[in-house]
Amino acid sequence: MPRPLIYAHRGSSFDHPENTRTAFMAAIADGADGFECDLRLTKDNQVIIWHDSNMLRMANHKAVVAQTEYSKLKEIYPDLMLLTELLEIASEHKKSLALETKHPVPSGNEVENKILELVKPFKDLDIALLSFSWLAIEKVVRFETGIETVALVNALNAPIMNRFSSAKSFAPSIEEIRNHPELVAKYQSEGKRVFVWTVNDVIDLKLCAELGVDVVITDMPARAVSELGYP
């Protein structure tokens, strides 16, 4: 059985500040197959790599991403990255990307429009777009871009996603996989790849490998590489 691919969750975020160049470069050194990151749109329509709707947790500043221009956000948090920067890194080092869009946001699905535009020159990259938003997934599917769409599922949205989503792949949490390991075989029997997040414990890494999960998303890619027996 093939081993799961290992994607670094916001980079090697256990040991480095999440979603920063330092974290992504560390993930390369750790042997990750790809990167997972979060994307948001600034007031001036720049796609940045950032998880929260504001800057409070990471920068101790109350600025709201959607209401603030990129230059100001960069001033607040100098390690802030644009999506284009990560695309260049991934292309240079031949790493896959799992790009998560955050919703709901004031700009609606404009972030997906911008992402699809920005990734066009990077035809060599294996890119997946992830979201908990059913509407976001369907928008991307409708454009037939060839980008893999991945439905992030949790207890709240699973009934809708499982029944109505046309996503090419599914991404349940490790908690869901612990409780319902049969989901992996179910999704794969439907022709979908299975991404599982956020897999940090050794027992969970081994469970994912035993079940034949396609991609594990982890804060600690070096541990995953070691535990899953990668050279």
Mean of the pLDDT values across residues 3-19? 98
CATH of 5-227, one of 3.30.1330.50, 3.20.20.190, 3.10.20.600, 3.40.50.1980: 3.20.20.190
80 alpha-carbon distance from chain centroid: 17
Residues linked to residue 216 through DSSP beta bridges, in sequence order:
6, 196
Mean of the pLDDT values across residues 122-135? 95
Distance CA 177, CA 200 (A): 14
120 pLDDT more than 90: yes
* Predicted local confidence at residue 142, as pLDDT: 78
Mean of the pLDDT values across residues 110-133? 96
DSSP letters for 69-100: -HHHHHHH-TT-EEHHHHHHHHHHHT-EEEEE
Q: List pLDDT tens digits, range 129-181.
A: 999 999 999 988 877 678 999 999 998 898 899 999 999 999 999 999 999 99
Q: List pLDDT tens digits, range 24-43.
A: 999 999 999 999 999 999 99
Mean of the pLDDT values across residues 11-19? 98
User: Confidence band (pLDDT; 50, 70, 90) for 20?
Assistant: very high
Backbone angles phi, psi at 82, to 5 degrees: -85, 155
Q: List pLDDT tens digits, range 49-96.
A: 999 999 999 999 999 999 999 999 999 999 999 999 999 999 999 999
User: Confidence band (pLDDT; 50, 70, 90) for 230?
Assistant: confident
* Predicted local confidence at residue 44, as pLDDT: 98
Q: List pLDDT tens digits, range 205-224.
A: 999 999 999 999 999 999 99
Q: Are 125 and 97 in contact (CB under 8 A)?
A: yes
